Structure 1
Amino acid sequence: MIEVDAVRVVSGDVTLLDTITRRVDAGTALAVRGGNGTGKTTLLRVLAGIQAPSAGSARIAGAAISQRDRTFRRRVAAMIGLPPFAPDLTVLEHVRLVAVTWFTSEEADARARAALDELGLQTLHERFPHELSSGQAQLFGLALVLVRPCEVLILDEPEQRLDPEHVEAVIAALRARRDAGITLVVATHHPRLAELVADETVHLERVA
């Protein structure tokens, strides 16, 4: 499903991502691990079509990666940092707005509620984004991604700011999607998440 062929990313004299070649089969999960500054987020940005590689190439489902391609946008969902929030929409309204892009209005409402409840946010449907804690905002952002259909799911440290109970909820949600045939690439510092979700792990090293 995902092919990374000698991809390298450089900005000026700084190497953001050293050369990497990797293949991720459909329906499997890859954990990307390594210290800060090793290029984890940069690799995910390449796969999400946000960052063009300086060298090498990456393909998803045999096609070039491009956010301008409608098929790519339908196939790939990504959370790399928190998305922007509208201050006058509730948590549920945000998630429903994403869902209704893909489903009928009635189905979108059910899916939005299910995505929030799956992550333990069932009591926060009517809250506004500014009323959330940092951990709740992280789960809210994740729900916005999980509510939509995709074939490839790309997540940058989904465990950030979460207590152990909610990390477990995220692990369960990601395992369910992997088991349903979705291909995952997850950058994480959390060894338990990597162990329980990933079929393979790649460790990135800091460039000297």
Structure 2
Amino acid sequence: MIEVDEVGVVADGVTLLAPVSVSAEFGEALIVRGRNGTGKSTLLRVLAGLRAPSSGTVRIGGEDVCERDPRFRRRVAAMIGLPPVAVDLTVVDHVTLVARTWLDDSHEAERLAPAVLSELGLGALHERFPHELSSGQMQLFGLALVLARPFEVLILDEPEQRLDPEHVESVIRVLQARRAAGAALVIATHSAVLADRLGDRTLRLDAAA
């Protein structure tokens, strides 16, 4: 499903990602570990089509990565940093908007949005505005925006950021369900708990650097 062959990134003579090779299949979680600065986020950006590699190739579902290809965008969902928000839309408005963008059935979108928020423990915060959320709640809200759309590959950069242990457990359960449903997960994380509970394969960029 995901094939990374000797992918490296160099910018202005500085190596952002030393060449790496790895693969993952449907229903598997690939965990990316490494110190800060070893290229975890850079690799995820390459997989999400947000940055072109300087060397090597990436194929997802047998096809080249291309952010402008509608088939690629439908196949791959990513959360790399917190998303931009509209100050005059509530939490549930945002998630419903994403669901409506991707789903043909507006009634299904209306049902899915509160379900995803409740799954992440944000059920009581539907009518709040994003600026009223705590940093941990904002992290979960960003994850809800990604989960409110269809995908075959889910790419997440440190989803445990700003979360207490209880909410990390909630995120693990949610991601386990997506993996069990057949999605391929690629997750950069510093959390040993998340890595141990979710990981089927591990790429250690410290070793690749």
Q: Compute the TM-score of the two structures, normalised by the length of structure 2.
A: 0.97
Distance in 1, Cα, partners of 2:166 & 2:46: 31
Unaligned runs of 5+ in 1: none
Cα deviation 1:53-112 (Å, max 9, x = unaligned): 000110100101001101000100000000100000000000000001122121111110
1:75 match: 75
Is 1:162 matched with 2:190?
A: no
Q: Compute the TM-score of the two structures, normalised by the length of structure 1.
A: 0.98
> Is the 2:19–2:208 Cα contact (8 Å) retained in structure 1?
no
Is 1:151 matched with 2:138?
A: no
- Alignment RMSD, CA only? 1.1
> SS at 1:101's partner residue?
helix
Distance in 2, Cα, partners of 1:205 & 1:54: 19
Distance in 2, Cα, partners of 1:53 & 1:37: 17
> SS at 1:153's partner residue?
strand
1:51-200, aligned counterparts within 5 Å? 51-103=51-103, 104-200=105-201
Runs of 4 or more consecutive aligned structure 1 residues displaced over 4 Å after TM superposition = none
Cα deviation 1:122-156 (Å, max 9, x = unaligned): 11000001101111000000000011110000000
* Structure 1 stretch displaced more, 196-205 or 77-86: 196-205
Distance in 1, Cα, partners of 2:182 & 2:110: 24
* Structure 1 stretch displaced more, 21-30 or 138-147: 21-30
% identical equivalent positions: 65
Cα deviation 1:141-183 (Å, max 9, x = unaligned): 0000011110000000000000111101100000000000000
> SS at 1:205's partner residue?
helix
Distance in 2, Cα, partners of 1:65 & 1:201: 22
More helix by share: 2
Letter in 2 for 1:183: A
> SS at 2:123's partner residue?
coil
> Is the 2:20–2:208 Cα contact (8 Å) retained in structure 1?
no
> Is the 1:18–1:39 Cα contact (8 Å) retained in structure 2?
yes
2:21 match: 21
1:8 match: 8
> Is the 1:15–1:207 Cα contact (8 Å) retained in structure 2?
no
Distance in 1, Cα, partners of 2:196 & 2:154: 18
Distance in 1, Cα, partners of 2:81 & 2:161: 10
